[in-house]
Amino acid sequence: MSHVTTQPGTPGTASPPTGPPPTGQSPTGRSSGSRGGRRRLIKRSTLVGWSFILPNFIGFALFTLVPVIAAFVLAFMEWNSYSSPSWVGLDNFERMFSDENFRVAFVNTLFYAGGHIPLTLVAALTLAVVLNRKIRGVQFFRTAAFFPYITSLVAVAVVWNMLFDPTMGPVNQFLETLGISNPPRWTASTDWSMPAVIITSVWRDMGYYMVLYLAGLQTIPEEYYEAARVDGANAWQRFWHVTLPGLRPVTFFVVVMLTIQSFKILDLIVVMTDGGPGRSTLVLAQLIYREGIREGRFGYSSAIALVLFFIVLTITVLQFRLNERRKA
Amino acid sequence: MRARLDRNARLGKVVASAAAVAFVVTACGGDDGGDSASSGDGDVTLSVSVWNYDTTPEFQALFEAFEEANPNITIEPVDILADDYDDKLTAMLAGGDETDVLTMKNVIGYSRYANRGQLADISDVVESADTENLAGLESYDIDGSYYAMPYRQDFWLLYYNKGLFDEAGLDYPENVTWDEYADLAEQLTSGDGGEKVYGTYHHTWRSVIQAISAAQTGGDQLGGDYAFFTDQYEMAVGLQDSGFALDYGTASAQQADYRNMFETEATAMMPMGTWYISGILAAKANGDTEVDWGLAPMPQRPDSDEVVTFGSPTAFAVNENAQNADAAKRFVEFASGVEGATAIADVGVVPALQSPEITDAYFALDGMPEDELSRTAFEPDVVELEMPVSETTSDVDTILNEEHELIMVGEKSIADGIATMGDRVNNEVR
Amino acid sequence: MSALPDVVSPDTPPRQLNASVQARRRKSLLRKALTYLVMTAVALLVLVPFAWMISSSLKRNNEVFTVPIQWIPEEFRWSNFVDIWDRIPMVTYLRNSAFLSVTITFLQVLTGSFAAYGFAKVRFPGRDALFLAYIGTIAVPWQAYMVPQYIMMQEAGLTNTFWSIIFLQAFSAFGVFLMRQYYMSIPDELVEAARIDGLSEYGIYRRIMLPLSKPALASLALLTFVNTWNDYMGPFIYLTSNDLWTVQLGLRSFIGQYSADYAMIMTGAVISVLPIVVIFLLGQRYFIRGIATTGLKG
């Protein structure tokens, strides 16, 4: 459904699940034969397109896009937020490659994203499918599922840390009854602190993405399910062949957002482990904050942000392409 | 393929032009005049950055005293949350903020702002004032110049629960060594589970172990050789391993609160800063706790013949962009002087200016322990700085903190942890 | 155009008439009971931290962080819920938070869905590069460009006004991306048909896209509202005057230089969750099958 790679102005990007590709060449549907007419139409549709985008774009460009670009320019400079910046070329990037903190934070961030993205995706989808029915009390369950996202972060950190407590915590007591004699020390150990953070973050975010999936489920026409039933599909087959394909645009959105959010995770880690013990949960966003706002090395901090940006952008573009290929 | 290239070129153009715009905008940052907040002759409105104005009585006390002494000056607090105070100050100053007086929450922040040239040189004020008894002033000396002047100096001492000492039939901890302190902790530990009373409580801050051992051994926390931490770590890790102090892993995971530990009588002793005195006084006054408490000097090393502890001052600085620099300097001087010190001592805060009269005023507060030991505890012989100030302070602080955690949760042995601290400080801090 | 009959869930058994209907019905009843049991257990587990929050809001401050955790306060201090209104100007803070959240949600939904139509259904050169730029900026942590942004806001004279927060959040790329994805799932034929019927692009947006995307609009509004309501760093950096502060700033003001009043923080947090619950209950009424698809059958 999307088209990072298609030539601008070509038709047929957003086709319905089953229908034939649209035939119109131009947004107005009245395709015209002559070259000049075509150009006029492109010009017109450009105007129309921009008129839709502009109200949002002005606000976005002025106070988000411009500062972001300024930060990227700073990645090639040295700046302490007060004196005038000086050009240092690629120094900040060279420094990054010899910086142990960067390496640690980079690996930790990948670890976090690798755990958080798939687990949250599955949890959110399961919740949405289970809670997308007309049963009594469904409102309560939906609200409950959303509650982790609105519970105070301090409460989240305290309670989860308590659950993970190495000696007195219920998690380890449960593991011990299962016969595991030497359960992990979770947030008090360097090996298990990141898994503990991932579990907590999945718990916290699943309700958020459930909301997106719930909205997505409403767009799947009931007729598709009827048709599948007539064909004798069981519940699992209906899920696999009707629900999942119908949710593809939402899933794409959820995956991209999850990727972005995991790569810039900060708040939960700050209150739960603050990067510790040692550097075992130090992540890139935290390093960006620390180097920039705290230490005043804004050039270096921006350079890390730029690297983070390119990693996420690459993954996003890959997802765009993958999504497109699957659709074709 | 061609299409993609075209698009990339176009994207490049967009980015380049946007960057140009961004550049112009940021380049203009910080240098515009802005409109003046000050009014004409005589009457001045002085803006002072503070944290939690409504709940931090020292600021109100100081401002009232200053306004009374200077009727033509009105103070306008710029209220910032204590929690992320320095983040906001960093942003404000980057934007060319013109708040006249800036409160320096700690010396690390101070060295940062001063080194960036965001604070005005007030060496003249410091030189003309009587600073002989002004504790903590030397921390603000940067190559012979001063950019801030302390008005408040908190230092560490030992809080203890008289009731629990009496119950165990032990003498109050007067002039104890760390070994004696550890023995006391063992004898004071009792009970189990939710009822357990620990002999002592070490809060999770690294200063509890590192700053005190630096102060008492003369070790340098910026030096890169941390063998001098060893004794203190062995004592602390020993105490938590034998269950006489709350386990670090539990304390940090549960965000254990030192006030809670002491006020619910879950610990018999607790090394902590003097700022807690006003907290505990308030808790007693509100009926939130019934703990019968006293103050004792920090335990010492066996070979020591004086009482050595560490402290952290709080100071006022003048913004380089201040609109009312003269009034701002007058305020800074006032706050560090006798009148300022008296005003904040009245609300239970330890002023940087020390004199017997001010200590008397302090101990005259409602609810202060009246015994001799507490009074002695309040007058240590030497107060070292919690952390030396230099360009590398903040980076070293981060490393020491990370390795401290690893030792305390038992991921690294004491020797390994201390060795890594040295390696990392020598390799990573430039 | 009528609403669909209630054949809701994907796993309702197919309607077949045979002898095993009875057994099947019994089995489905059992399954229903089991589902409820599991869902209730999960819901309770999920709500544990919230329970701690409520319990702490009824404690004395020095009882909040006990080791081990004390779930039921020794004495219920309901007075916390009275005191907090005196300790901080809670009414002002709630009003500010409400104003910001409503304004920002309204602007985000309006401009976001409008722009999304441009990105999803109008084709023009440069569209995809622009869209990528939109998404790309979401990937940059705010801390990385906070200072340049602050300097710009200061230059524009917007710091310490609500405008700064509105500009910061109302035009975020999130809403554009979300709405675009939903519009992509609406078949192009529908739009084409409307164009042939002579509807302008704006007409299509207003008459067809908006009504069809109610669930998506509801989820965007809900999530924007929650994020704005709970945001702390943005208002903290940009709003200095106490009478502009939001609830989240008010709660943080209980954290002092050396210690914090966590009982009050939790009391305030419980109060600040209530408006969100109301919004959630209102918003999720749109998550009912049928709303989005009725129009498609026209």
Same domain, B275 and B148: no
Query: How many separate domains does chain B show?
Result: 2
Is residue B374 a part of any domain in this protein? no
Same domain, B137 and B176: no
Is residue B2 a part of any domain in this protein? no
Closest Cβ–Cβ partner in B251, B254, B260 for C62: B260
Complex ipTM value? 0.81
Same domain, B122 and B204: no
* pLDDT tens track, chain A, 328 positions: 333 333 333 333 333 333 333 333 344 444 445 667 778 888 888 888 888 999 999 989 888 899 999 999 999 988 887 778 888 888 889 999 889 899 999 999 999 999 999 999 999 999 999 888 777 788 888 888 888 888 878 778 878 887 888 777 778 888 888 888 888 888 888 899 999 999 999 999 998 999 889 888 888 888 888 899 898 888 889 999 999 988 888 898 899 999 999 998 998 898 888 887 889 999 999 999 988 888 888 999 999 999 999 998 899 888 888 887 776 5
Same domain, B190 and B306: yes
Same domain, B245 and B162: yes
Domain holding A69, by residue range, is 35-74
Distance spanning both ends of chain B, measured CA to CA:
46
Q: Which residues of A touch B428 (CB under 8 A)?
A: 99-101
pLDDT of B197-238, one tens digit each?
999 999 989 999 999 999 999 999 998 899 999 999 999 999
Same domain, B221 and B115: no
Q: Which residues of C touch B288 (CB under 8 A)?
A: 60-62
* Three-state SS annotation for B384-408: EECCCCCCCHHHHHHHHHHHHHHHH
Are the beta carbons of B198 and B189 closer than 8 angstroms?
yes
Q: How far is A260 from chain C (nearest CA, A)?
A: 5
C residues 51-70 lying closer than 8 A (beta carbon) to B: 60-70
Q: HSE, CB side, 13 Å, CA atoms: give it for residue C217.
A: 18
Same domain, B195 and B147: no
Same domain, A58 and A194: no
Closest CA to B389 of B401, B398, B397, B380: B397
Please give the radius of gyration of chain C, using alpha carbons only, rounded to the nearest integer. 25
Give the separation between CA C233 and CA A134, rounded to whole angstroms.
Answer: 39
Size of interface B-C (CB pairs under 8 A): 125
In this predicted structure, what is the pLDDT of residue A184? 87
Give the separation between CA B302 and CA B41, rounded to whole angstroms.
Answer: 62
Same domain, B272 and B137: no
Query: How many separate domains does chain A show?
Result: 2
**Is the Cβ of C159 closer than 8 Å to some Cβ of chain B?**
yes
Are the beta carbons of A56 and C115 closer than 8 angstroms?
yes
Q: Which residues contact C34 (CB under 8 A, 6 or more apart)?
A: none
The CATH number linked to A211 is: 1.10.3720.10
Tokens of B123: 């060496």
Is residue A5 a part of any domain in this protein? no
- Using the beta-carbon criterion (under 8 Å), do C70 and B88 form an inter-chain contact? no
Same domain, B172 and B277: yes
Is residue A86 a part of any domain in this protein? no
Give the largest CA-CA distance in chain B.
89
**Is the Cβ of B3 closer than 8 Å to some Cβ of chain A?**
yes
Backbone angles phi, psi at B273, to 5 degrees: -80, 160
**Is the Cβ of B145 closer than 8 Å to some Cβ of chain A?**
no
**Is the Cβ of C177 closer than 8 Å to some Cβ of chain B?**
no
Is residue B29 a part of any domain in this protein? no
Same domain, A107 and A155: yes
Give the separation between CA B207 and CA B203, rounded to whole angstroms.
Answer: 9
How many residues does the structure list for chain C? Answer: 298
Q: Which residues contact B3 (CB under 8 A, 6 or more apart)?
A: A6, A7, A8
Size of interface A-C (CB pairs under 8 A): 352
Check residue C11 and give left, alpha or beta (phi > 0: left; psi -120 to 50: alpha). alpha
**Is the Cβ of B4 closer than 8 Å to some Cβ of chain A?**
yes
Give the separation between CA B74 and CA B68, rounded to whole angstroms.
Answer: 10
Is residue B3 a part of any domain in this protein? no
pLDDT of B66-98, one tens digit each?
999 999 999 999 999 888 899 899 989 988 889
Same domain, A242 and A157: yes
Enter the pTM of the model.
Answer: 0.84
Same domain, B161 and B221: yes
Domain holding B325, by residue range, is 44-153+312-363
- Using the beta-carbon criterion (under 8 Å), do C249 and B82 form an inter-chain contact? no
Residue ranges and CATH numbers for the domains of chain C are: 21-80 (no CATH), 83-297 (1.10.3720.10)
pLDDT of C60-104, one tens digit each?
877 777 766 778 888 888 888 988 888 889 899 999 999 999 999
Mutation test of the interface with chain C: which of B14, B55, B86, B98, choosing the one with the most C Cβ atoms within 10 A? B55
**Is the Cβ of A296 closer than 8 Å to some Cβ of chain B?**
yes
Mutation test of the interface with chain A: which of B17, B204, B398, choosing the one with the most A Cβ atoms within 10 A? B398
In this predicted structure, what is the pLDDT of residue B120? 94
DSSP state of C209: I
- Using the beta-carbon criterion (under 8 Å), do B246 and C67 form an inter-chain contact? yes
Is residue A285 a part of any domain in this protein? yes
The CATH number linked to B258 is: 3.40.190.10
More confident of the two residues B53 and C287? B53
Of B363, B388, B403, the position where a domain reaches its end is B363
B residues 402-421 lying closer than 8 A (beta carbon) to A: 402-403, 405-406, 409-411
Give the separation between CA A316 and CA A320, rounded to whole angstroms.
Answer: 6
Same domain, B357 and B254: no
